[in-house]
Amino acid sequence: MDDAALHSSVIGDSGATVVFLHGLFGQGKNFTQIAKALVPDFRSLLVDLPDHGRSPWTERFGYEQYADAVADLLGSGVARGGPVHVVGHSMGGKVAMLLALRHPELVDRLVVADISPAASDGSDEFEHLLGSLAQLDLSSLETRGEADAQLAEPIASATVRGFLLQNLRRASDGFHWQANLDLLRRDLADIGDWPAVDSSFDHPVLWVAGERSHYVRDEHDETMRRLFPQTRLVTIKGAGHWVHSEQPEAFASALKVFLAG
Annotated catalytic, 7? no
Q: Could you give the CA distance from residue 219 to residue 110 in angstroms, rounded to a whole number?
A: 21
List the catalytic residue out of 90, 116, 120, 245: 90
- In degrees, to the nearest 5, what angle opens at C-alpha 189 toward C-alphas 188 and 195? 115
Q: Could you give the CA distance from residue 109 to residue 97 in angstroms, rounded to a whole number?
A: 11
Strand order in the sheet with 107-113: 8-11, 42-47, 16-21, 84-89, 107-113, 205-210, 231-236
Q: How many CA atoms lie within 13 A of 207 on its CB side?
A: 22
Annotated catalytic, 244? no
List the catalytic residue out of 52, 85, 89, 241: 241
Neighbours of 75 (CB within 10 A): 14
List the catalytic residue out of 182, 199, 214, 253: 182
Identify residue 77 by its one-letter amino acid code: G
Annotated catalytic, 176? no
| Among 102, 4, 124, residue whose Cα is nearest residue 57 | 4
Report the catalytic residues: 90, 182, 241
